[in-house]
Structure 1
Amino acid sequence: MAEQERPDVATAVQPTLVDVAVAAGVSRQTVSNVLHAPGRVRAETRERVEHFIAKLGYQPNRVAQDLRANASRMIGYRIRPLAPGALASIHDRFLHALAEAGRAADHHLLLFTADDGRAEAEAAARLRRSGGAAGFVLYDVTADDARPDALLGLGVPFVAFGRTAQGTDRYAWVDVDNPAGTAAAVDHLVHRGHRRIGYVGWPAGDTVGDRRAQGWQAAIERHGLTAECRSLDVRGEDSVTAGTQMAYALLARPEPPTAVVTATDTLAVGVLRAAQQWGLEVGRDIAVVGFDDTPTAAALDLSSVRQPIELVGRHVMSTLLDATSAVARPRPSASTAPSTERLLAPRLIIRSSSASPAPAHR
């Protein structure tokens, strides 16, 4: 026996999606599926809903649809001020690379500020609930960073540039192989004949800084130079002034280094300044290699380890867009949710600050 139509529903001049649902005897979500994903609805139900859409003269709210579409093309990103004393920041290159990757996929960045990591996670959750952004990018992730767990708990899609020390199988991240970068710098200097290779880096406890120091240490050990280099490891804040002071400390040693690897180009500029004030010619008397290959490094002809930031930006954006497009599908549990991990190799750019052979009499 054919199902009888339900009585007409009194509607306003512009009937709503709810009016159609009541008239057809289905849920609001079913009507939405008929409009946007008809393949999910049984044929007989779809026909009944389409009948009442036509009978009531229902027209979807195009303004609301446009707002939802625009929100789905927004990616949230917390911006932070440049660290005091730093000459340049890799953050600027990453932000530009991320914006370019988003633009290529018809997505745009929604920049916001927050006082700390907890506030950032809360702001991301609010933006997600309000439709302000579909997903988020985490930057400058530390070893014990609480943001990934917080966003996982809130059900907010995100991808991290960098990774924590634990739990990296639970979320998507893209990172640069920092130990490989400093190890490549040591290999290069050893091949130029250096045996006393110093390291100027950040204090222990910073994830990126620790990994760069580990790369230097591992390469020193691999080349059998531990005895010559164990006292040539100094740490301090990331500023030109601190780099200069730490370089003075190295140059004052009874057996000073003939080459120095630094954790950043900012510190490398401090080493260059100290060497020049010490009366040394960089590239002849002492070799210096920085990290990040900033425009400053190119301007000063400083060898430096280049991060593939443009590639990082593309991977982060593509991974996040995959995640946000899958939100409508049933979500696996947190314990079985697949993660996406990409560890990208940096590249050493050799310039005059380290290209020459090691000095013969130092």
Structure 2
Amino acid sequence: MTDFSEPPGAGAAPASRRPAAGAVGRSAAPRATLGSVAALAGVSKQTVSNVINAPQMVRGNTASRVNAAITQLGYRPHRAAAQLRTRRSRVLGLRIPNRYTDAVFDRFLHALTDAAGALDYRIMLYTADDDTAEIRAYDELLDGWDIDGFVLTGTHPGDERTSYLSGAAVPCVTFGRPWDDSGHHPWVDVDGAAGTRAATEHLISHGHRRIGFLGWPDSSGVGGDRLAGWAGAISAAGLPALEPSRAVNDAHQGRAAAAALLDHTQPTAIVCASDVLALGAISEITARGMEVGRQIAVVGFDDTDISEVSGLSSLAQPLVEVALQSARLIAALLEKPADGPPEHVLLPPTLVTRASSAAFLP
């Protein structure tokens, strides 16, 4: 639990503790201490400490008295003292990508900051150009800032970051599965395959039979997962498996890949691996004089602001729940390391339908 002190109350002091009218140079009321809480509650300082840090050790009626005294005096434990005692900083490291083209990471960052704060942890941000630079940053942060653990994003095939942290006995959790099947750390991920399968089935139910896929390069584990969901739905429905088109997560390159898809396979609908690629597809479709949603349907992934503004159907990632689970897992590792295998959490996305995926009109 966090330990730090501040004066009781942010506004005016209670009348009983307010300086008398006309008093000059009189100091403000002293800050509440562990001793003053103990005196008011009629217990020892150790009992107060136990109520704060190990409440299971204190009887209910005693804990109630101590908590009432804490509230009355406005006592807040001292963070520095707790750090000295526990040898922990309650700070988690998170790398900011040097370049990202949508708001997914930003939304996750805000949600993680809230979730970690609710568990009395803080997030320290850092940058790195690639995995090698990020691994170097681990050593610098651990040496200079006593980071307790790390939250990693952007997992990919050949990812060495978690193996490095595991070998150094540094706790971590990842937003994203380990695509190399390593099982040495807990992770939280969104089931991309379930999402694109739901999107494809939605289009099939609206009469589409030629459904293309606009995805990421083969090297992307996340992209492969999303491709698999589309392919599974197409196969189950007995529909032709149109050759997918691929691009990095960039709207301009997504438009070029969409042009190739339209030219080579003539789909009536396109499932996209991201809203950014979907925006590229929409740009190409409209440039050809066709109407999105009436002549060619489009579904994105991530449900970013782009999708809402443009009327794009999209798969919403449960980023708040991802953040809550990530914070829970890393906190559990730090506070009581598990004896069994690390926990893995796979969450389904939600399909949000808009005008871009209307029924097929032959």
TM interval, shorter chain, is 0.7 to 0.9
Q: Is the 8 A contact 2:211 2:269 kept in 1?
A: yes
Aligned partner (choices 294, 297, 301) of residue 287 of structure 1: 297
Which residue number in structure 2 is paired with residue 338 of structure 1? 341
Which residue number in structure 2 is paired with residue 358 of structure 1? 360
Structure 1 residues 339 and 63: alpha-carbon distance in aligned structure 2, compared to 1, 3 A threshold: closer
1:238 aligns with 2:242: no
Distance 1:175 1:193 in 2: 31
Q: Please report the RMSD computed on the Cα atoms of aligned residues, expressed in angstroms.
A: 2.3
Aligned partner (choices 105, 109, 129) of residue 95 of structure 1: 109
One-letter identity of the residue aligned with 1:223: A
Q: Is the 8 A contact 2:98 2:129 kept in 1?
A: no
One-letter identity of the residue aligned with 2:286: Q
Distance 1:287 1:64 in 2: 57
Which residue number in structure 1 is paired with residue 311 of structure 2? 301
Which residue number in structure 2 is paired with residue 47 of structure 1? none
User: 1:164-203 counterparts in 2 under 5 A?
Assistant: 164-203=178-217
User: 1:103-118 counterparts in 2 under 5 A?
Assistant: 103-118=117-132
Deviation by residue 1:71-127 (Cα, 9 ceiling, x = unmatched): 5321111111223xx3x1311111111001012122210111233323323432443
One-letter identity of the residue aligned with 1:348: L
User: 1:1-362 counterparts in 2 under 5 A?
Assistant: 65-68=81-84, 72-83=89-100, 86=101, 88-130=102-144, 132-226=146-240, 229-231=241-243, 233-253=244-264, 256-326=266-336, 338-354=341-357, 356-360=358-362
One-letter identity of the residue aligned with 1:286: I
TM-score for the superposition, normalised by structure 2: 0.74
Q: Secondary structure at the match of 1:216?
A: helix
Q: Is the 8 A contact 2:210 2:242 kept in 1?
A: no
TM-aligned CA deviation for residue 248 of structure 1 = 1.6
TM-aligned CA deviation for residue 171 of structure 1 = 1.1
Identity %: 39
TM-aligned CA deviation for residue 65 of structure 1 = 2.4
One-letter identity of the residue aligned with 2:269: A
Gaps of 5+ in 1: 1-34, 39-61
Q: Is the 8 A contact 1:125 1:154 kept in 2?
A: no
Q: How many residues align?
A: 288
Q: Secondary structure at the match of 1:119?
A: helix
Name the larger-Rg structure: 1
Greater relative contact order structure (CA < 8 Å, 6+ sep): 1
TM-aligned CA deviation for residue 280 of structure 1 = 0.7
TM-aligned CA deviation for residue 169 of structure 1 = 2.5
TM-score for the superposition, normalised by structure 1: 0.74
